[in-house]
Amino acid sequence: MLREILPLFLMPTCVVLALLVVALRTRRRWPIVVALVLLLTASTPVVSNVLMRAVEGWRVRQVTSDAPNADAIVVLSFGIRDVPGDTTSFEFDDFDRFLGGFDLYKAGKAPRLIFTGGWSAWKPDVPFIGDVLIARARDFGVPASALSTTSIASNTEQEAAGVAELLGVGKSPTAPRILLVTSAYHMSRAEMLFRRAGLEVIPFPVDFQTKLGITPRSFIPNGDTLKQTDAALHEIYGRVYYWIVGG
């Protein structure tokens, strides 16, 4: 929970609120000016897109048929959310990850399809995501013998450790080779952590967030863009954290 909460204090919205509090307490104008500039900058698509594109590593969507063969396809978990209606009903976020992994499997790129066992302490009653995705993959025609999931994982580091355990890292002289499927903006951090876990990683990024092209709307601030900026900054903070703790 702390890993999820602490970065929020460094996001534009919280920084803007802090600056407004400073302005009220000191009765000075400069914090208000800085807060407005920061809010407008973070909410403007043309700025946010450049930031997100850089976080995505300027990657491009790969053609499934061009992907090399591997020992396993690993799809990192994504969120599911409750929706009004039946208490067992939910909808997916980032379903592109599932589809990317499924397409690679159907193209014969690996004999195994592994979903990580995502779980959030914020929503303990939400179904175990790895199990949900296995059920959906079986609905899509993937045989049960090809499917597996890690134990519960609440962050990417735990996902990497779970996959390494499943694939028996350290039990043979060569590292297991995986096709890693996750959102483009998350790929650099995931790739780093999976390699640290002893796996040979072939990135297959999906779920690109950047809006291509510039239109008049690219210069109009909006809430969706602020959310995109938050996502990019969260990823940057995560990389810095693991860079520091990992030496």
Residue-range domains of the chain with CATH: 2-56+222-245 (no CATH), 64-206 (3.40.50.620)
Is residue 201 helix, strand or coil? strand
pLDDT interval class at 141 (50, 70, 90) = very high
Give the list of residues 6+ apart from residue 131 with CB closer than 8 angstroms, or none. Answer: 117, 149
pLDDT interval class at 220 (50, 70, 90) = very high
Q: Give 190-216 pLDDT, tens digit per residue.
A: 999 999 999 999 999 999 998 888 999
Percent of the chain with pLDDT over 70: 92
HSE at residue 191, side-chain half, CA atoms within 13 A, is 15
